[in-house]
Amino acid sequence: MIASAGDPALLARQLAVLAELGQQALLGVDPDTLMQKAVALVAETLDVEYCKVLELLPDGDELRLRAGVGWREGSVGRATVGAGTDSQAGYTLIAKEPVIVEAAERETRFELPPLLLEHHVVSGISAVIPGRGRAWGVLGAHTARRRPFAESDGRFVQGVANVIGATVMAARRSDDELAQAENLEAVGRLAGGIAHDFNNLLTVIGGRSDLLLQRLAPDSPGRRDAELIQAASRRAARLTHQLLAFGRRQVLMPKAFDLGVFVAGLEPALRRLLGQGIELVVATAAPAPVRADPGQLEQVVVSLVTNARDAMPGGGRLTLQAAGVEADEALARRHAGLQPGSYAVLTVRDTGSGMDARTQARIFEPFFTTKDHGRGTGLGLAMVYGIVRQSGGGIGVDSAPGRGTTFSIYLPLAEAGAGRAPDVPGAGTVVPGAATILLVEDDDEVRALTRETLTRGGYRVLEAPDAEAALRVAAGGGEAIHQLLTEVVLPGLNGPQLAERVAALRPAARVLFVSGYTDQTLEPGAAFLTKPFEPDELLRRVRALLAS
């Protein structure tokens, strides 16, 4: 049975497959074994008869069938297809996104190669397998039945292709640390690959349960069920945010601040977190200006301090130190992604139980934990890794059993003269609730929930499913538009690009960005709301922005 586009069960299965393959990659499974497992899982998950891995040959003119399911006996290892752009595989090699074919007879971008025609293929998806310096190959899923595929299916295939590519590249390297970093990157990409869909689903589930609770009487027999749904939605949202942090797909709101002053400001909260048995020492040296997202950096510090506390059940000392440092070539080589240069470094040093080399090699893997069952998700340090890397920095760990652990967080120094983020520009106060809002959201269910929430708040809502439609509304003249409420990730123009064009048409309109998954960094001072959000939270943010 073919699942419908956006089906939560299908999306959950896709995420599980990506997680399974990512775990296999981290364990160092050889590429051929992983490829064969991948094509079998993709074919089963998408309910298609054929799936294949094509390897681009050294001459760049052909691709050979390296692994597959469903093909005629003897095809794997022998069959080839052309790499020219007149074939689907060749076209995929230069495409910037997965290539979806719904009906072969109507396809005008390229022709299907003999391999697909011989198997009567009608529909399918293909995605490039990344390599070092050039594409390594193509992953394709095909069927002899005419059927549509959703964009989320394309992201799923691309996520699997990323894991295959990282595995192949890792197998070619002798440097174990570099291979581990590459594998973490692959798992990060797959973690963020379909989170956009999950956050939209959680927005609808949580939002609808919230609206339902507002309508139910306190003694209603259905109220407890609605509360349980809402609570489960919130727990799922927290896990998704941690995965997005690891995958470096969160929206960052960077500001310039001094790292030492920032850490000192957290000291009272950290003392409460540690409790009575652990001595906390906070040391700051010369000024260490950085440009980072303070909210995300606070999560980094809290996660590291929590881990340190758990490593010292009998008490001990925890030292946090902020300083400046010059990273030379030797230091940069020891930290993935770090380049030689000037950095601010935050050191978190505990006197706890420490870790052996094998544990240290895996601590940044998602879902890896040494804690007892039920005491941790295994996402805390994975989240730390992702936030630091997305901020342009690096992270190192030094530990040994019995002598404690030291984490070092390196963040690029801010440019000289960097100041605070500018305030959101205003154009006169608008009375909250007496305003017109242009809503741009590509997910129908999320758009309907958002429209209903805004209407309930007393706003007039103009809506559009994409940037093109939104620009037509903005260019239409007539009534004033007081606020643009837009998803960051949109088909065609993205949210920031749309906001720039709307500003030229409607300069007085405020802008509120919304998203649960993005690789965009918004401009300093931009107003942003994270999905999944609750209806009342949305109304508070809209009112605050209009009244600013």
- Contact indicator for 501, 231 with CB cutoff of 8 Å: no
Q: Is pLDDT larger for residue 235 or for residue 449?
A: 449
Residue 304: the pLDDT is: 92
Tell me if the pTM is above 0.85. Answer: no
Over range 35-61, report the average pLDDT. Answer: 94
pLDDT digits (tens, 9 = 90+) for 55-110: 999 888 999 999 999 999 989 999 999 998 888 999 999 888 999 999 888 888 99
Domains and CATH numbers, the chain: 8-193 (3.30.450.40), 255-412 (3.30.565.10), 436-547 (3.40.50.2300)
Over range 47-52, report the average pLDDT. Answer: 96
Alpha helices in 315-419 (DSSP H): 329-333, 357-360, 380-390
The number of residues in the chain equals 548
Residue 239: the pLDDT is: 65
pLDDT digits (tens, 9 = 90+) for 105-132: 888 899 888 888 899 999 999 999 998 7
424: tokens are 């959101």
Residue 113: the pLDDT is: 87
State the chain's mean pLDDT as an integer. 82
Whose tokens are 């990157």? That residue is: 185
pLDDT band (50, 70, 90) for residue 16: confident
Spatial distance between the Cα atoms of 109 and 370, rounded to a whole number of angstroms: 51
pLDDT digits (tens, 9 = 90+) for 332-357: 767 766 778 888 899 999 999 898 88
Spatial distance between the Cα atoms of 372 and 485, rounded to a whole number of angstroms: 44
pLDDT band (50, 70, 90) for residue 177: low
Evaluate if residue 13 carries a pLDDT over 60.
yes
Spatial distance between the Cα atoms of 138 and 128, rounded to a whole number of angstroms: 5
Residue 1: the pLDDT is: 45
Spatial distance between the Cα atoms of 203 and 225, rounded to a whole number of angstroms: 18
3-state secondary structure 90-132: HHHHHCCCCEEECCHHHCCCCECCHHHHHCCCCEEEEEEECCC
Spatial distance between the Cα atoms of 203 and 103, rounded to a whole number of angstroms: 33
pLDDT band (50, 70, 90) for residue 246: low
Rg (CA), the chain: 25
Percentage of the chain lying above the pLDDT 70 cut: 83
Residue 105: the pLDDT is: 87
The answer to whether the peptide bond before residue 366 is cis (omega within 30 degrees of 0) is: no
